[in-house]
Structure 1
């Protein structure tokens, strides 16, 4: 199986991206699909891109399989959402490897505390827990994580 191609998301794809985002979020069991949620997610890409997001998609032969939103100025992996139809196929790991190429030294992210599957995966992928905080927007408690590239240079004594 070949992995989907990661490329920039286009404005004409924002509706499809919002649907993938909602389906992925709903698959966590923390929310239910609704027109209200979908409309909120449809409104976010243009606003977030204006605020500094770099929006990428995983394109599986013309099907958007995942979305990835990075805020490079703050080293933030803001969203990594894989469509339920593409979960369990190493696509998340592929997107994380792409993220590490974009931010090779350090990455920050936030994850909903109740989303055990996600934060446990990030921990297995080398992210360290930093703190928890309450999101004023969603009301969820967020776990903050950081990944920092290991410095493999060794000191040489003269």
Structure 2
């Protein structure tokens, strides 16, 4: 069995983010986003994400983190009333160990019937992963704020 299948290793705990962790959430978000190769890390990008986190929470995000003994391993932002999975980012050093799948399972506990999300078209690794996880492609549309072409996906509980 591969090392990532070891169950005796303590797993990061998924919990609500604390307000004093928002800067760290933004750092995890940036490092994970940068790991896609679609944008370079910069103070500007970090500042933009740091400003966005509290603003999005105010607008209705339920913001969760995967806490690995005080170190943030991932961030998850969902908008429950809209059944929208807005952001799921795993820090690069935690990628490939099933944490993303745990966060998705956690999301399905909160949104058991239906979830929709958007993914940047060029982030093929992400959208292929969502497809493997049962999400169905619906459409592509340009996001006017960023200029990125977004792929829209939806998952519905099968009857």
Give the TM-score band, short-chain normalised.
over 0.9
Q: Which residue is equivalent to 2:31?
A: 23
The runs of 5 or more residues in structure 2 that have no matched partner are: 1-8
Matched, 1:124 2:132: yes
Tell me how far apart the structure 2 counterparts of residues 121 and 67 of structure 1 sit (CA, whole Å): 17
Tell me how far apart the structure 2 counterparts of residues 2 and 149 of structure 1 sit (CA, whole Å): 30
Matched, 1:82 2:90: yes
Displacement of 1:55: 0.2
Q: C-alpha offsets along residues 57-79 of structure 1, whole Å, 9 cap, x if unaligned?
A: 00011110000000001000000
Larger Rg over CA atoms: 1
Query: What is the RMSD of the two structures over their aligned residues, measured on CA atoms?
Result: 0.5
Tell me how far apart the structure 2 counterparts of residues 3 and 109 of structure 1 sit (CA, whole Å): 25
Tell me how far apart the structure 2 counterparts of residues 68 and 97 of structure 1 sit (CA, whole Å): 12
Tell me how far apart the structure 2 counterparts of residues 15 and 51 of structure 1 sit (CA, whole Å): 18
TM-score of the two chains, using structure 2 as the length reference: 0.94
Matched, 1:52 2:60: yes
The runs of 5 or more residues in structure 1 that have no matched partner are: 152-158
Secondary structure of 2:51 counterpart: helix
Q: How many residues align?
A: 151
TM-score of the two chains, using structure 1 as the length reference: 0.94
